[in-house]
Amino acid sequence: MKKKIILFSLIAFATVIQAQTLEECQSAAKKNYPIIKQYDLIAQTTHLTVRNIQKGWLPQVTASALATYQSDVVAWPESMQNMYQQMGLKMKGLTKDQYKVGVDLHQTLYDGGAISSQNKIARQEGKVQEAQTEANLYQVRKRVNEMYFSLLLLDEQIKLNDDVVALLLSSEKKLSAMVKSGTAATSDFENVKAERLYAAQQNTSLKAQRLMLQRMLSVFCGIEVSNLRKPDIIKAAASTNNRPELRLFDNQLQLADTREKGLDALLRPKLGVFAQGYYGYPGLNMFEDMLSHKWSLNGVVGVKLTWNVGALYTRKNDKAKLRLQREMIENAREVFLFNNNMEQIQQTENISRYHTMMQTDNEIIVLRTNVRKAAESRLTHGIIDTNSLLREINNENAAKAQQAIHEIDMLKEMYNLQYTNNE
């Protein structure tokens, strides 16, 4: 006997331990949802992008090879060639086929803030992507709420259906005894038995629905969801809205500001040093190459200042585009807040409605229970038929079901309101 008590205690304790709360399911679903991996991918992508942009400060090296054939080349006038020939010098002139293999090197000293601007834009784009992922991931909470409260409602329906089956079975046994004693008709017994079998059939369907929904929630959360703990009644959410979508809009506006500041960098001059070297023919010494057709090493070093004023042509339009982007983002924020406010109003009114109905649910159940018990007593004494009893049993069960629905729906609206405000 002691072993059985210990075993039952362990089973009960394990059942309590395995009961999942709504917060636990939401936390598990957030970690299990595949989109969570995007946070790390975005961070890595942003890091690599910034590193690539930062390499703009490294020397830029370009290797090239060139082979050309020209229709004409630089040559001495015929009179000068004759003069050189008289002096014993043969001026061959440049050949029409020319070749170069070289390397160009450029080192930026001042870029007008272009690289710094690109770094800021890349980092801000990463923040926008993270905010978008956070907004998408937040939708997981709503889906968990739907499945969690649907499971709670199914649990209540199964419990109430079990009570109906128990009541019908009790009446069935009484009628069976009454049929044997000749105080009740066989049809009354069969009527109650048929209703009990129908209730048992409904129970099977409800349990199958619960098993399917339990499996869906388990897969969605990545944990084995067995028993659920009914959440506590919470106070109305505060008026301050802290939804991740609002942070997404803020980051998008900051990105537009960062891009506008980047337009200024396009107008500033750029300063750098360069070096060019090549091996080929002709070289920099044209006179020598006219005398001798030999390849030579050549090089040039210097400082280069460039100022591209082409950005002025599109600056006005670029700023106008960014202004329109801001207006679109602000409009999207207004639409979101409007819809969010409408949703809050609906949820608040639903909570108030369910709360009002729940105030009379207990009284209705007490009255329906009294009527049902009186019907059972009258059936025993042969005053009413089984149809009247079944009607009262169903009325009592409907009253209890309405109470459960009102309670679960009110809890659901409370937590949905919390979700709407991101409390």
pLDDT-based confidence at residue 14 (cuts at 50, 70, 90): very low
Tokens of 70: 């020209």
Which is higher by pLDDT, 81 or 409? 409
Q: Among 17-21, 185-189, 328-332, which stretch is predicted with the lowest mean pLDDT?
A: 17-21
CATH 1.10.3720.10 fits 24-58+111-269+307-421, yes or no: no
Report pLDDT for 384: 67
Neighbours of 60 (CB within 10 A): 14
Q: Among 21-30, 127-136, 281-290, 347-356, which stretch is predicted with the lowest mean pLDDT?
A: 281-290
- Model pTM score: 0.80
Q: Residue 367, SS3?
A: helix
Please give the share of the chain, as a percent, with pLDDT higher than 90: 59
**C-beta of residue 323 within 8 angstroms of C-beta of residue 263:** no
Across residues 94-113, what is the average pLDDT? 91
Q: Is the pLDDT of residue 367 over 50?
A: yes
Residues 119-172 pLDDT 10s: 999 999 999 999 999 999 998 998 999 999 999 999 999 999 999 999 999 888
Neighbours of 29 (CB within 10 A): 23
Q: Which residues contact 80 (CB under 8 A, 6 or more apart)?
A: 91
Report pLDDT for 237: 52
Q: Is the pLDDT of residue 17 over 70?
A: no
pLDDT-based confidence at residue 4 (cuts at 50, 70, 90): very low
Using DSSP bridges, classify how beta strands 97-110 and 270-281 pair: parallel, antiparallel or unpaired: antiparallel
Q: Is the pLDDT of residue 183 over 90?
A: no
Report pLDDT for 74: 78
Report pLDDT for 413: 92
Q: Which amino acid is at 101?
A: V
Q: Is the pLDDT of residue 379 over 70?
A: yes
The DSSP 8-state label assigned to residue 116 in this structure reads H
Across residues 389-402, what is the average pLDDT? 92
89 vs 15, 81, 85, 94, 343, CA distance in Å?
A: 110, 9, 5, 15, 98
Spatial separation of the C-alpha atoms in residues 57 and 64, rounded to whole Å: 22
Report pLDDT for 291: 77
Q: Which residues contact 166 (CB under 8 A, 6 or more apart)?
A: none
Could you please report the per-residue DSSP string of 35-59? Answer: GGHHHHHHHHHHHHHHHHHHGGGSP
Which is higher by pLDDT, 235 or 113? 113
Tokens of 168: 């019908």
Q: Residue 304, SS3?
A: strand
Helix axes 114-181, 386-421, angle to 10 degrees: 170
Q: What is the mean pLDDT of the chain?
A: 87
Q: Is the pLDDT of residue 251 over 50?
A: yes
Q: Is the pLDDT of residue 214 over 50?
A: yes
Across residues 69-81, what is the average pLDDT? 79
Residue reference for tokens 């409390």: 423
